[in-house]
């Protein structure tokens, strides 16, 4: 036996055993569990160590203290130092005598088998332990706490609770057939024992922690016991919450998932408490968020509950002090930002919706924008960015405060920002009676779009071309839904937004290429394809769509002319296009203005043609109306009638058919002319020629026209008939002679020889030379021949 008087020898032996035990236990729990099988004979009480083994162990221990020339501690050095600390800690168990070395393996070397992760084995061993010590459940709670305080691993006088001086063999065999036990009394559960302990009023946090350890309650795996302890702690005192706050900051007692933070906040919702307690409780919540200890589901409940905290005069925190509420939200948000476990992108959609709803109700738009930028990505929806923009626009209408959402649009993903721009533009353009001052909101929205800085990224997004109903045959039926705009209007709104974004690249009169030109070209092509079923042209349909939406001026018609038609237009045409876009000016009004009409006639030729084709000029009502307009109107009114004649294609085509003379009824011709039903597309040729001649007679007798103006207008009708192959009757020649010669002489004007000869040449051509000769003859005074020709 080694002498107990030698302290060095004993220390070396204990360290060697500790080192060997550590090496042995490093094989894992399962390794030494199988190695230490139960034996029938009791273990030996003494250990024999030879002198050679002791000397070798001493040399190994002395050599192990060297650094081996290492200047920088690496992983092996750190492992060696850790082993030394463990050896030193384990050496304290053998300070009294070598008998206590058995505590390394538990009572009788087998008590450690209780420490297992198998539920069935742990339950069986706990049951055996309870049956072997029936007095454990009888002793009072105070005695239990006193015994737990007296345990110390550093003193040999106090043994560990699982160490027994009288070893007893324990049968660890497992029986598959449960044995009924009718004689043993029912033992109370751990929840009942914990409840009995908590009913006492003189316990503290340390007492609760020790009692939970005594009952072997794993609060990390069973958070319901943590909630049970915290509820009892809150029910003891609602005025002094210092212990409750200390409980929340204790990681052993306050376990994750127990809901203790929400229970603490709910206490302030139920009754009015001190402001200092409320701030301390919410600060504890912030600390938990910073450490990543608060689940997102519980955080969502806390966000909902904080505005309902009762403060002064029985009012909630939302009603009494919104600044304080916003300060609490901001502190929690910053705590999440400092956390390395729970990030902003880890917040689920339900929590994001709840928190943003509260921020919008508080009108804290800057905080909400920061929230959106931190939690949104390319796959997120655009509900909240759109909502924030609409709320700020409404706020601008009331308070005229400048919105700041364009900074949020610069920080969002390009596709997400594009979807947001499209949705806001469509919402503002939606014909809704609830939106007051829609034109002013659109103007403010256009100003904000022109201030964006990431236009190049937005122009590369394919969301602009995302029009699922553009080629759908049922697009018209879908467009009847009040919440969905027609495809044509959706395209116009996107063109308007892109045109507004392109202003950031310079003035509109610069013809240099812009990043938005490609998207605009594609959208115009889609618009042209979607309007093929309509009667108008590209520009006319685009004009009607812009006037229907009543959008602020963005020169969309001029953009379509430059990009799609590639035509150079005059300044007059530019001004006319601007009027068509900014006002409810129709093409009929443009047709009434000769200068404006000639400026855009080539651009809207098809539209004017279709408009004139719908006019039935040869009908009795239309003819009488036009003739009355010529008699009482001025030159501008007459030119409007002449422009109709020049653009009415069916009317021009039917003129040459009037050369075939109608047979007189006395001739009893075999083929009679029976005019069928006529309309604007197939006018009566004889009625058309007759209308032109009646128009010439009315012009020659108009008192609102000068003789020169009347002559030129009649000559225009003469050229019109000759150009389109219509017959010229004597009534038109006589009207020309009356306007160009007779009216000149009546007003004392001089008729130019060229004009006089030209009129007589036309007379001789259509009425004969005899009539022209008589008109050339000088006037004979006093002659009264019955066949004398008079001036027309």
Condensed to tens digits (0 to 9), the pLDDT of residues 17-26 reads 555 444 444 4
pLDDT tier for residue 791 given thresholds of 50, 70 and 90: very low
Sign of torsion, CA 50 52 58 61?
Answer: negative
Q: What is the pLDDT of residue 584?
A: 82
Region 471-483: mean pLDDT is 49
Specify the DSSP element, H or E, that contains 763. Answer: helix 753-766
Check pLDDT > 50 for residue 42: no
**Three-state helix/strand/coil letters over 566-578:** CCCCCHHHHHHHH
3 state DSSP class of 316? strand
pLDDT(443) > 80: yes
For the beta carbon of residue 641, count every other beta carbon within 10 angstroms: 19
Question: What is the rounded distance in angstroms from the CA atom of residue 761 to the CA atom of residue 771?
Answer: 11
Q: Read off the pLDDT band of 163 (50, 70, 90).
A: very low
Question: From CA 378, how far away is CA 383, in angstroms rounded?
Answer: 13
Percent with pLDDT over 70 in the chain: 72
Q: What is the pLDDT of residues 646-700, one digit of tens each?
A: 888 888 888 988 887 777 777 666 655 556 667 777 888 888 999 999 999 999 9
pLDDT digits (tens, 9 = 90+) for 586-595: 888 887 777 8
pLDDT at 378: 67
The pLDDT of 121-137, averaged and rounded, is: 39
The encoded tokens of residue 725 equal: 């192959």
Its pTM stands at 0.64
- pLDDT value of residue 694: 93
Describe the chain by its helix, strand, coil percentages, rounded to 5.
Answer: 65, 0, 35
More confident call, 616 vs 378: 616
pLDDT at 545 exceeding the cut of 70: yes
Average pLDDT over every residue of 365-377: 89
Please state, as a whole number, how many other Cβ atoms lie within 10 Å of the Cβ of residue 484.
15
Q: What percent of the chain has pLDDT over 90?
A: 19
Q: CA of 467: how far to CAs of 15, 412, 486, in Å?
A: 80, 22, 11
Residue 519 CA from chain centroid, whole number: 21
**pLDDT score for 466:** 87
- The mean pLDDT value of the chain amounts to 76
Sign of the dihedral defined by the CA atoms of residues 492, 494, 497, 498, in that order: negative
Confidence of residue 307 (pLDDT cuts 50, 70, 90): very high
- Average pLDDT rounded to a whole number, residues 446-463: 87
Residue 479's pLDDT is 45
Q: Which of 608, 494, 470, 491 is nearest to 540 (CA)?
A: 608
- pLDDT at position 159, please? 36
**Is residue 282 scored above 60 in pLDDT?**
yes
DSSP 645-698: HHH-HHHHHTGGGGGSPPPPGGG--SS--------SSS--HHHHHHHHHHHHHH
What is the structure's pLDDT at 681? 79
Backbone angles phi, psi at 727, to 5 degrees: -70, 150
Please give the C-alpha separations between residue 265 and each of 188, 278, 299, 499, in angstroms, as whole numbers. 33, 8, 11, 52
Stronger pLDDT, 604 or 14, i.e. the higher one: 604
pLDDT-derived band at 237, boundaries 50, 70, 90: confident
More reliable by pLDDT, 435 or 509: 509
User: Per the structure block, which two tokens stand in for 104?
Assistant: 């390394």
pLDDT value at 376 more than 50: yes
Cα separation, 552 vs 450, in Å, equals: 13
pLDDT at 408 over 80: yes
Flag whether pLDDT at 298 surpasses 70.
yes
**In this predicted structure, what is the pLDDT of residue 59?**
77
pLDDT higher for 231 or 166? 231
Neighbours of 386 (CB within 10 A): 19
Find, among 786, 788, 619, 642, the residue nearest to 713 by Cα. 642
CA 21-25-26 angle, to 5 degrees, is 120
- Whether the pLDDT of residue 116 is over 50: the answer is no
Mean pLDDT of 223-238: 84
The pLDDT assigned to 439 comes to 80
pLDDT in tens, 170-208: 443 344 444 444 444 567 788 888 888 888 777 888 888
Confidence (pLDDT) at 488: 87
Q: Is the pLDDT of residue 415 over 60?
A: yes
- CB-CB neighbours of 218 under 10 Å: 11
- According to the model, what pLDDT value does residue 682 have? 81
CA–CA distance, 265 with 286 (Å, rounded to integer): 12
Instruction: Judge contact between 15 and 62, C-beta under 8 A.
Output: no
Of 63-67, 72-76, 167-171, 743-747, the range with the lowest mean pLDDT is 167-171
Of 665 and 624, the structure prediction assigns the larger pLDDT to 624
pLDDT at 335 over 90: yes
- For position 336, what pLDDT does the model report? 93
pLDDT of residue 279: 92
Residue 573 has pLDDT above 80, yes or no: yes
Q: Which residue has the higher pLDDT, 309 or 312?
A: 309
- Indicate the domain borders of the chain: 7-114, 616-663+678-776
Higher-confidence residue: 482 or 334?
Answer: 334
Tell which wins on pLDDT, 97 or 592. 592
Summarised one tens digit per residue, pLDDT across range 709-765 is: 999 999 999 999 999 999 999 999 999 999 999 999 998 888 999 999 999 999 999
Residue 218: its pLDDT value, please? 86
Distance CA 105, CA 17 (A): 12
Q: Which of 327-331, 445-449, 735-739 has the lowest mean pLDDT?
A: 445-449
| pLDDT score recorded for residue 110 | 46
In whole angstroms, give the CA distance from residue 200 to residue 207: 11
Lowest mean pLDDT among 199-208, 413-422, 510-519, 674-683: 674-683
State how far the Cα of 414 lies from the Cα of 459, in Å rounded to an integer. 9
Cα of 415 vs its chain's centroid, Å: 9
Between 201 and 104, residue with greater pLDDT:
201
Q: Categorize the per-residue pLDDT at 286 as very low, low, confident or very high, splitting at 50, 70 and 90.
A: very high
Tokens of 483: 């919440």
């Amino acid at each position: 036996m080694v002498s107990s008087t030698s302290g060095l020898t004993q220390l070396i032996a204990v360290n060697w055993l500790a080192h060997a035990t550590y090496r042995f236990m490093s094989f894992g729990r399962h390794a030494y569990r199988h190695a230490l099988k139960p034996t029938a004979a009791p273990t030996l009480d003494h250990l024999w160590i030879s002198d050679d083994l002791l000397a070798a162990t001493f040399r190994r221990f002395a050599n192990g203290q060297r650094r081996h020339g290492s200047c920088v501690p690496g992983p092996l050095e750190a492992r060696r130092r850790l082993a030394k600390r463990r050896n030193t800690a384990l050496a304290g168990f053998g300070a009294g005598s070598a008998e206590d070395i058995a505590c390394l393996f538990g009572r009788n070397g087998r008590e450690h088998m209780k420490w297992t992760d198998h539920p069935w084995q742990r339950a069986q061993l706990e049951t055996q332990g309870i049956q072997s010590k029936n007095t454990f459940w009888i002793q009072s709670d105070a005695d239990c706490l006193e015994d737990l305080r007296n345990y110390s691993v550093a003193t040999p006088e106090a043994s560990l609770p699982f160490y027994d001086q009288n070893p007893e063999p324990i049968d660890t065999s497992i029986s598959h057939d449960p044995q009924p036990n009718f004689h043993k009394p029912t033992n109370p559960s751990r929840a009942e024992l914990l409840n009995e302990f908590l009913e006492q009023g003189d316990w503290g946090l340390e007492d609760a922690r020790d009692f939970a350890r005594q009952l072997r309650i794993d609060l990390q795996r069973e958070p319901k016991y943590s909630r049970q302890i915290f509820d009892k702690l809150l029910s003891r005192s609602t005025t002094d919450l210092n212990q409750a706050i200390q409980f929340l900051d204790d990681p052993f007692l306050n376990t994750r998932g127990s809901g203790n933070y929400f229970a603490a906040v709910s206490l302030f919702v139920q009754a009015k408490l001190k402001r200092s307690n409320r701030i301390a409780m919410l600060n504890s919540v912030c600390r938990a968020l910073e450490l990543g200890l608060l689940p997102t589901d519980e955080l969502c409940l806390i966000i909902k509950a904080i505005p309902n905290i009762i403060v002064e005069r029985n009012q909630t925190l939302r009603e009494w002090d919104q600044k304080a509420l916003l300060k609490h939200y901001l502190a929690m948000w910053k705590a999440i930002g400092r956390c390395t476990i729970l990030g902003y992108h880890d917040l689920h959609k339900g929590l994001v919706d709840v928190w943003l709803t509260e921020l919008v109700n508080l009108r804290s738009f800057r905080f909400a924008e920061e929230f959106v930028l931190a939690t949104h990505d390319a796959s997120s929806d655009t509900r909240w960015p759109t909502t924030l923009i609409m709320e700020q626009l409404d706020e601008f209408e009331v308070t005229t405060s400048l919105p700041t959402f364009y900074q949020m649009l610069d920080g969002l993903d390009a596709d997400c920002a594009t979807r947001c721009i499209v949705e806001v533009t469509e919402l503002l353009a939606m014909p809704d009676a609830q939106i007051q001052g829609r034109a002013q909101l659109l103007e403010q929205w256009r100003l904000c779009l022109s201030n964006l800085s990431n236009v190049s990224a937005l122009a590369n997004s394919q969301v602009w071309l995302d029009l699922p109903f553009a080629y759908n045959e049922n697009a018209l039926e879908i467009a009847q839904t009040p919440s969905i705009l027609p495809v044509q209007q959706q395209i116009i709104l996107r063109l308007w937004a892109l045109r507004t974004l392109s202003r950031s690249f310079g003035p509109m009169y610069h013809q240099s290429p812009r990043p938005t030109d490609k998207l605009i070209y594609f959208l115009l092509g889609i618009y042209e394809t979607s309007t093929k079923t309509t009667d108008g042209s590209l520009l006319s349909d685009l004009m009607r769509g812009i006037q229907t939406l009543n959008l602020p001026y963005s020169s969309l018609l001029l953009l379509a002319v430059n990009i799609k038609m590639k035509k150079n237009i005059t300044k007059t045409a530019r001004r006319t296009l601007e009027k068509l876009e900014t006002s409810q000016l129709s093409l009929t009004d443009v047709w009434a203005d000769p200068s404006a009409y000639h400026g855009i006639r080539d651009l809207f030729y098809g539209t004017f043609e279709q408009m004139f084709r719908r006019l039935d000029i040869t009908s009795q009502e239309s003819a009488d109306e036009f003739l009355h307009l010529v008699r009482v109107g001025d030159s501008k009114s007459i030119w409007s009638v002449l422009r109709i004649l020049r653009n009415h294609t069916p009317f021009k085509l039917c003129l040459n058919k009037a050369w075939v003379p109608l047979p007189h009824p006395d001739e009893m011709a075999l083929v009679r002319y029976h005019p069928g039903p006529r309309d604007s597309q197939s006018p009566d040729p004889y009625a058309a020629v007759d209308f032109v001649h009646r128009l010439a007679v009315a012009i020659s007798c108009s008192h609102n026209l000068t003789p020169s103006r009347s002559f030129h207008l009649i000559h225009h009708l003469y050229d019109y008939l000759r150009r389109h192959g219509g017959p010229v009757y004597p009534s038109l020649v006589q009207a020309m002679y009356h306007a160009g010669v007779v009216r000149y002489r009546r007003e004392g004007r001089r008729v130019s020889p060229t004009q006089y000869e030209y009129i007589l040449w036309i007379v001789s051509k259509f009425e004969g030379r005899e009539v022209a000769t008589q008109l050339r003859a000088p006037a004979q005074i006093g002659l009264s021949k019955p066949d004398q020709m008079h001036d027309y």
